[in-house]
Structure 1
Amino acid sequence: MLLSTSSAADATRPNIVLILADDLGFGDIGCYNPRSKIPTPNIDRLASQGLRFTDAHSPASVCVPTRYSLLTGRYSHRRPNRNGSFNAGALIDEGIVTLPAMLAKAGYRTDMLGKWHLGFDFTSFDDALAGGPVDRGFASYFGVPASTDIPPYFFIEDDHAVEAPTAMIDEHHSEGVRNIQGAFYREGKIAPGLKLPEVLPTFAERALARIEENAKSPETPFFTYLALTAPHTPWLPAKKFHGRSSMRAEGVPPALADYGDFVANVDDIVGQVLDRLDELSIADRTLVIFTSDNGPTWYDDDAELTGHDSAGPWRGMKGDVWEAGHRVPLIIRWPAHVPADETSDALIGQVDFFATLAALVGQKLAKETAPDSHNLLPVLLGHDGATGRETLITQSSQGVLSLRKGSLKFIPHLGSAGFSEPKREKPTPGGPTVQLYDLANDPGETTNLAGERPNVVAELTALLERLQTAERTAP
């Protein structure tokens, strides 16, 4: 039986497990792309038991601004500094109510495992790493400061380094792929006891242990945020996953095929989490969210070479203002509450997790809290007539914003504004200086309508400017 919004908040509060993959493509998963060359039986199982969204978006097409928006319910352009270096200062200002802080107020135990990438107020490795997860709403944290291709490389427990990064590691690249693909990582400091291939399985083990520990106190619901470091570079699948995908073929560089095996590794971790929930007999009272922070590092010629289109039907890749940069998989399961084995084309953003979960647990938000987060709980619960957003802003790696209004997409820029070429395109004489697409008829963003619809361009230009400067864009 589907619950109404009010009765959902009154029901026993579910545990919440949020799994955030890193640089996973829309087309990598079987339930989104039947032609995928990567087996993803566990994510597919989750989709068969839950609601799969086809028009879901990360707030940005790169890591840092997405994570900021997801945890604050604020559009990423409200925090212009996108540098997530561990010692560049905490990006979430003290005093901002975060998603875990809101859930803690509602009586949840809140834990984070994995990639933070939102900076710390760093002084020294002998001191607490202030401004991180445990200072922004989480009761516990075990993870790494950023991606495992960005030094320094070290584990953090709560607010202290497990082992200071005192050794050095040389920069590494793989043959046959671009510099930002394969087993790529940068030169820098590393904790002597840390091995990069062991980071991902360590997070999985820690997450399972934390869920098991929390399950011992069923009177206290828990929120577990598992921010994976995969399939972001370095592509380091565990040995048992080598050859798991069908991308290994003559002419395909082994380092490129490693990506498929790494995605299979991610799928296995999702399966471990689902299995542990079953073993603990708490699956029925646990809401599971699976998504990715942005699109994949996968070029058009990678798709041609391997026969696998990580971006799916969308244009571009990670970093881009085009769809493949920010249209991401999103699957949500909550047995007997969220419709099972169904698909939703509602427009939704990860920025909406905050208000939606607040409604679920019965927390009223102050006007200044999560100002860009929409409550889409009726969509999640499958209510008749429930609709998604009407407008949504996303951001490219170069900070260029795009605006969705219905099926229309407006980009005040020519080019990808990200990783794909051309990143910036000069307008032709008398030609358009912006991009406008109708995704209902042109999902691949192949036909720029800006020159044909100047009135629409003017309307959306004004709307984007208004939304950018508004104190609050959510109802």
Structure 2
Amino acid sequence: MHKLITLSSALLATAAVRAQSPNVIFILADDLGYGDISAFNPESKIPTPNIDNLTQDGITFTDAHSSSALSTPSRYSILTGRYPWRTKLKEGVLDGYSPAMITPDRRTIAQMFSENGYNTACIGKWHLGWDWGYPQNAKNKKDVDFSLPIKNGPTDRGFDYFYGIPSSLDIAPYVYVENNKVTALPDHIIEPQKGLGLMHGGVAGADFDPQDCLPNIIRHSIDYIDKQRNSKKPFFLYLPITAPHTPVLPSDKYKGKTTIGAYGNFVVMIDDMVQQIVETLKKNNQLDNTIIIFTSDNGCAPYIGVTEMEKQGHFPSYIYRGYKTDIYEGGHRIPLIVSWKGKFSNKISNSLVSLTDFYATFAQMVNHKLKTEEAVDSYSIWPILSKEGTSTRKDLVYESGKGYLSLRTPRLKLVFNGGSGGWGYPNKPTDLAQLPSMQLFDLEKDPSEKENIIHDKRYEQEIKEMTRLIRKYVKEGRSTPGAEVANDTEDKWKQVNIFMQ
């Protein structure tokens, strides 16, 4: 009887915790630069008052990073709490026909929320692969039978509901998928486009209009929030929107809203979409019990017209060097606001934070004990959010588009290759041959990474220690305390410098 009473008490206590758990909406912009949001860049030429308003009841993180300077690996880390270079994907991104990147045995943040009493949904851009259905006579991966259900997609990875697109808005196939079926069979072809309307050609569903994609995602999000209004369970909404990634397609009402052209207008459109979500929460009396996260998957894309914007005084990477794909700060330092009305105060945090950290953060929030192979690179920032302490993260690994790694401490950044590791300068073999094979930057003194101090003898000990740490993190399959676990593939890494010293 005593054991029964104790067990019942524990279950009641757990139920009470879950009943008090807030909703969580994770808004992930696509290729939005740190300097595109006026709360982070006072000189921004793009007005973002609604996103800025999130800071009034939020914590603004000025040293937050995606785990990668590219989309697919960055998203993998958010959902798994694990660095993406531990997988088979050593560089680049998946396309719209790629198989699932998240293996069936890899736990996700959606599964964690679901097991702790949450309804879960993903609405927007997936870009982590799934398994399309194929006819018996299929000759290549594009010979999809779109009438067949997908497998190993979001609803097989912990989400109760999914509505969205396979990958980026410029990558075929151009179809909406709801749960595990396309909403309309392809009936036309979208021709390749260039410029800010950049799209690769491919098949498109009968109901697919690129111009309406972002508004459609927001409509479905608002509808989902409305449906959760009377639920007895809290909800987790992962909302990876498709903007401001190409094609840059601001609706007519947003055209002319900025002086820097279509890209600026598209960001204004995002700002308005955020306001629509906030107003929906207010209307439903959900706002006071909802944590809203606003961030980006990586830095601004250099092909978006950044040269012209910089001439007009708008710097999407703010003071930071580089853009999307680059190992430099502009590739992965992203805006991050975590807002909870009435609970969080207007505060700026300079703590070193990764988007990988949200898995452990919300696990701590709901009192979920992480398993050995769960969220192996995730450090909780809940102590920062709850004003009860700081994160225990002391360093951070991030990768470039080409798969090169860098280890970051609060002060120093050690890059295990000689160039940008992406599309930015330097990246050509002739240029790299003239440069040291590694780079070291003191970000306290040189946040714009203008001076490589790798040969400064004053930093020899730090270089040795940082190299030792990254070797350890690679070898042990994790960067958090715990038992050693395996990486997905044998230790084949782009950066041979890690293992040469």
TM-score normalised by length of structure 2:
0.87
What are the equivalent positions in structure 2 for 1:387-426 lying under 5 Å apart?
Answer: 387=391, 389-424=393-428
The structure that has the greater radius of gyration is: 2
Q: Hey, what does 2:367 align to over in structure 1?
A: 362
- The alpha carbon displacement at 1:359 in A equals 0.5
Instruction: Supply the AA of the counterpart residue of 1:364.
Output: K
Correspondence for 1:244: 257
**Shift of residue 34 of structure 1?**
1.3
CA distance in 2, matches of 1:245, 1:355: 39
Aligned to 1:229: 242
Conserved 8 A contact 1:86-1:122 = no
**Contact 2:380-2:391 at 8 Å conserved across structures:** no
Partner of 1:53: 61
Q: How many residues align?
A: 450
Question: Does structure 2 conserve the Cα–Cα contact (< 8 Å) formed by 1:417 and 1:424?
Answer: no
Cα deviation code 1:130-157 (max 9, x no counterpart): 1110000000000000111011101000
Q: 1:265 is aligned with what amino acid?
A: M
**2: CA distance, partners of 1:41 / 1:432:** 43
Report deviation, 1:406. 2.4
Change (3 A) 1:428 1:190: closer
1:189 match: secondary structure = strand
- Are 1:149 and 2:153 matched, yes or no? no
Q: Residues 200-279 of structure 1 correspond to what in structure 2 (within 5 A)?
A: 200-217=214-231, 219-247=232-260, 257-279=261-283
- Give the distance between the partners of 1:469 and 1:20, measured in 2 at CA: 31
Tell me the residue number matched to 2:150.
129
Distance in 2 separating the partners of 1:42 and 1:361? 29
Residue 464, structure 1, aligned to residue 467, structure 2:
no
- Residue 104 of structure 2 is matched in structure 1 by 94
- For 1:314, the aligned partner's letter is Y
TM-score by length of 1: 0.91
Instruction: Find out whether 1:27 has 2:35 as its counterpart.
Output: yes
Asked if 1:352 corresponds to 2:357, the answer is yes
Give 1:84's aligned amino acid.
Answer: L
1:433 correspondence with 2:437: yes
Q: For residues 301 and 427 of structure 1, what CA distance do their matches in structure 2 show?
A: 21
Corresponding residue SS for 2:186: coil
Partner residue, 2:211 = 197
Alpha carbons of structure 1 residues 97 and 431: separation in structure 2 relative to 1, 3 Å: closer
The structural deviation recorded for 1:426 is 5.7
The amino acid of 2:251's aligned partner reads A
Given that residues 379 and 480 in structure 2 are in contact (C-alpha distance below 8 angstroms), is that contact kept between their aligned partners in structure 1?
yes
Shift of 1:235: 0.3
* Distance change >3 Å, CA 155–CA 428, structure 1 → 2: closer
In structure 2, the CA distance between the partners of 1:187 and 1:300, relative to structure 1 (3 Å rule), is closer
Note if 1:71 corresponds to 2:79: yes
Q: CA deviation at 1:113?
A: 0.4
1:458 and 1:426 map into 2 onto residues whose CA distance is 28
Matched with 1:328 is 334
Partner of 1:160: 181
Q: Deviations over 1:355-390 (max 9, x none)?
A: 00000011111011111111121012223x524521
Partner of 1:178: none
RMSD: 1.9
Deviates more, 1:35-44 or 1:295-304: 295-304
Residue 39 of structure 1 is matched in structure 2 by 47
Over 3 Å counting, the alpha-carbon distance change for 1:221 and 1:429 in structure 2 is closer
Query: Percent same amino acid at aligned positions?
Result: 38
Deviations 1:270-327 (A, max 9, x none): 1111111111111111111111000001366234322210111110001110001000
Checking the alignment, whether the CA contact within 8 Å between 1:427 and 1:433 is kept in structure 2 is no
Give, as a single letter, the amino acid of the residue that structure 1 aligns with 2:151.
A
Cα displacement (A) at 1:127: 1.6
Contact kept? 2:191, 2:202, Cα under 8 Å: yes
Q: CA 1:427/1:259 → structure 2, altered by over 3 Å: closer, same or farther?
A: closer
Separation in 2, partners of 1:463, 1:331:
29
In structure 2, the CA distance between the partners of 1:302 and 1:467, relative to structure 1 (3 Å rule), is farther
CA–CA separation in structure 2 for the residues paired with 1:111 and 1:430: 50
Corresponding residue for residue 112 of structure 1: 122
Could you tell me which residue of structure 2 aligns to residue 294 of structure 1? 298
Q: Work out the CA distance in 2 between the residues paired with 1:238 and 1:144.
A: 19
Q: Give the superposition deviation at 1:474.
A: 1.4
| 1:170 matched residue in structure 2 | 191
Closer, same or farther: CA 83–27 of 1 in aligned 2, 3 Å: closer
Specify the code of the residue in structure 2 equivalent to 1:236: L
Q: Structure 1 stretch 229-238 or stretch 462-471: which is displaced more?
A: 462-471
CA drift at 1:464: 1.3
Alignment of 1:308-323 (within 5 A): 308-323=314-329
- Does residue 386 of structure 2 align to residue 381 of structure 1? yes
For each residue in 1:85-131, what CA deviation from the matched residue of structure 2 results, as whole angstroms up to 9, or x when unmatched? 23221000002110000000001000110000001112231221111
How far apart are 1:428 and its partner, in Å? 8.2
Q: Secondary structure at the match of 2:242?
A: coil
Given residue 252 of structure 2, which amino acid in structure 1 is its aligned partner? Answer: K
Task: In structure 1, list runs of 5 or more residues that go unmatched.
Answer: 1-5, 175-181, 248-256
Distance in 1 between the 2:275 and 2:408 partners?
Answer: 34
In 2, the alpha carbon distance for the partners of 1:25 and 1:431 equals 28
Structure 2 alignment gaps of length 5 or more: 1-13, 134-144, 482-501
- In 2, the alpha carbon distance for the partners of 1:155 and 1:136 equals 18
Asked if the contact 1:113/1:203 (under 8 Å) is kept, the reply is: yes
Output the CA distance in 2 between the equivalents of 1:429 and 1:106. Answer: 53
* Equivalent residue number for residue 250 of structure 1: none
Distance 2:473 2:187 in 1: 46
- Residue identity in the other structure for 1:26: Y
d(CA) in 1 for partners of 2:20, 2:114:
16
CA distance in 1, matches of 2:474, 2:214: 37
Cα deviation, residue 430, structure 1: 9.5
Counterpart CA distance in 1 for 2:334 and 2:117 is: 30
